[in-house]
């Protein structure tokens, strides 16, 4: 499924920044916060159990989990796993999101540029929205 816009809610955004772990390194952590790719997954309707405690889109494809193939097929083409590897866009998004040295402002600018390169208008908003209520 393709998307052309995406909103990341800062209060629910999992990332590592300036030496502080803000719940990054998982598509969705146990507190329900999502990394940038987790927001993509929710926007295309990937079920929470295929995001929670999962490191990247390629890790969503668990051969022993019923329904995993249909969930993996929902990833937009630019983010879809290639065989057993993450796409170049997903790999770059992970690198930006989980860099513990850069600031949130840098991450937002870099992710906005990266997502724009694949036709997705990315915006960041303040708020207490619940990303699990996305389609």
**Up-side HSE of residue 86: CA atoms within 13 Å toward CB?**
16
pLDDT averaged over every residue in the chain: 87
Confidence of residue 135 (pLDDT cuts 50, 70, 90): very low
The tens digit of pLDDT for each residue in 24-57 reads 679 999 889 999 999 999 999 998 988 999 999 9
Residue 122 backbone phi and psi in degrees, to 5: -100, 130
Domain extent, residue 86, equals 5-133
Question: Which region, left, alpha or beta, applies to residue 53 given φ > 0 means left and ψ of -120 to 50 means alpha?
Answer: left
Tell which residue, 38, 118, 36, 120, has the closest CA to residue 78.
118
pLDDT over 70 at 67, yes or no: no
62 vs 64: CA distance, rounded Å: 5
- The total of structural domains in the chain comes to 1
pTM: 0.88
pLDDT over 60 at 6, yes or no: yes
């Amino acid at each position: 499924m393709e998307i052309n816009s995406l909103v990341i809610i800062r209060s629910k955004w999992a990332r590592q920044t300036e030496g502080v772990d803000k719940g990054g390194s998982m598509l969705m952590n146990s507190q329900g916060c999502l990394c940038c790719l987790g927001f993509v997954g929710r926007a295309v309707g990937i079920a929470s159990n295929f995001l929670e405690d999962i490191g990247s889109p390629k890790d969503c494809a668990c051969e022993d989990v019923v329904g995993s193939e249909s969930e993996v097929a929902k990833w937009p083409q630019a983010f879809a796993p290639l065989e057993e590897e993450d796409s170049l866009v997903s790999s770059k998004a992970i690198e930006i999101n989980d860099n513990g040295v850069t600031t949130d402002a840098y991450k937002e600018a870099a992710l906005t540029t990266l997502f724009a390169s694949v036709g997705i208008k990315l915006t960041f908003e303040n708020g207490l929205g619940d990303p699990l209520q996305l389609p």
